[in-house]
Amino acid sequence: MSHSVWDQKLKDFLSSAASSEPTPGGGSVAGVVGALGMALLVMSLEIVVARADAKPEARDFLLQAKKKLENLQKFADEDIEAYRRLMKAFSGPKDAKQISNAAEASARVPLNAAKELVSGMALAQSAFNFVSGSIRADVLASIIFMKAALEVNLKNVDLNLPFIADESVKASLAHDAKVLMASI
């Protein structure tokens, strides 16, 4: 990929998402939404840690949230790349193995994002105890954004399953997605 969604101005990303181009699409937009959700948690914890009466555990939560934010940022770009490979497989000579491999990659990206989002939501729910006042609204928004991104990612896993030839891979991906959905 020539550039990252994170290098674009927000207005340009919005225009791209609203254009007739296939990317950025639902998966990459969910990647941005999930990362923004985690960014709200980082901001909330930064405020808490800056206070003189901050609990020592708050710094640990902040470090974890920063790492998760770093991890979540990659999924928007990975989704675009996986989708492009899948579309290339569909548009070329009908090679079932190539389509299956591309579909598997297109399912694994959102599944990996979903795993990180579930973990991020759990962190945000635990961190809720460290925040008070109006900052709680930002932590709640964080959870809501991550949950929305999670649901999109899990739907994208499901949408790719029919194109995966290996039944054991398909079953494993479906099982993992089901477990993640049940965890929220």
The whole-number pLDDT of residue 52 equals 83
Q: Which of 143, 135, 155 is nearest to 184 (CA)?
A: 143
Quick: pLDDT tens for 12-70.
Answer: 989 999 999 988 989 999 999 999 999 999 999 999 999 888 888 889 999 999 999 99
Q: Is this structure's pTM higher than 0.85?
A: yes
The whole-number pLDDT of residue 2 equals 54
What CATH number has the domain spanning 22-182? 1.20.120.680
User: Domain locations in the chain?
Assistant: 22-182
Q: Which of 135, 158, 152 is nearest to 51 (CA)?
A: 135
Cα–Cα distance for residue pair 77/87, rounded to 1 Å: 16
The whole-number pLDDT of residue 89 equals 93
The whole-number pLDDT of residue 92 equals 82
* 74 contacts 108 by C-beta, under 8 angstroms: no
Quick: pLDDT tens for 74-112.
Answer: 999 999 999 999 999 999 888 899 999 999 999 999 999
Spatial neighbors of 176 by CB under 8 A, at least 6 apart, are: 111, 115, 157
